[in-house]
Homo-oligomer: A and B are copies of this chain.
Amino acid sequence: MRPQKALDKEVISGLTKVFSSKGYEGASLQDLATAASLKKASLYHRFPNGKKEMADAVLAHLQAWVQENVFDILNDTHTKPEVRLKTAIENIGVLYDGGNRTCIFRALSMEAGMELFGQQIEDGMKVWIAVFEKIGLELKLSPKQAKEYALQTLIDIQGSLILARGLGNTGIFEKTLMNISNRYLK
């Protein structure tokens, strides 16, 4: 075997950028290979099932990052909930590169993507909602309020990312993250 040219992490990182910015159909194998610093055939060696498997790997990688840096933080009952919330929201800022990166759910939820990833997107969103609902309860919100705040948190993140991109103004996203925090902690 020839030596491994690109590290797995670099490959996934490149694929993530392409899928996030171009969507599933918009991402060509040529784009993906270039971003991964590999030739197309080498990508197929690592992902024998092709493009779908590459996107699955990206989703899994992001899911693991979010689990570690958002969900586990929010669920860490050894820390005060106010601190957990602040840290988690900071990490959400990192996840979306301060408003410069599109959410993968959005990128993969155009029609063709919905058929392939619809279930994963739905399940993923439900976990986000459940985790924010839980921290809301720990912050002494009523069950109804906790549910509403959790939904509004996701709406704010997704909506502000779209506006930030459309207006070319990442400040909208950063401001929205602050609003989310203030809503819980006021």
Contacts and interface: CB of A to CB of B under 8 A. Distances in A.
Interface of A: 21-23, 25-26, 102, 105-107, 109-112, 114, 118, 121-122, 125-126, 151, 154-160, 162-163, 165-168, 172, 176
Contact of A167 (B22, B112, B126): B126
**Within the oligomer, what is the number of copies of this chain?**
2
Contacts of A110: 21-23, 26, 102, 107, 110
Contacts of A109: 162, 165-166
A176 B163 contact: no
A122 B168 CA distance: 8
23 contacts: A21-B110, A21-B111, A22-B25, A22-B110, A22-B111, A22-B112, A23-B23, A23-B25, A102-B110, A105-B162, A107-B110, A109-B162, A109-B165, A109-B166, A114-B165, A122-B167, A151-B172, A154-B163, A155-B155, A155-B172, A158-B159, A158-B163, A159-B162
A25 B110 CA distance: 10
Nearest to A23: B110
Nearest to A175: B151
B112 A26 contact: yes
Given A21-B110, A23-B26, A110-B22, A162 B167 contact: no
Contacts of A26: 23, 25-26, 110-112
Contacts of A118: 168
Q: Which 8 A-B residue pairings sit nearest by Cβ, starting from the closest? A: A159-B159, A155-B159, A25-B26, A158-B159, A158-B162, A23-B110, A21-B111, A22-B111
Nearest to A25: B26
Contacts of A102: 110
A159 B167 contact: no
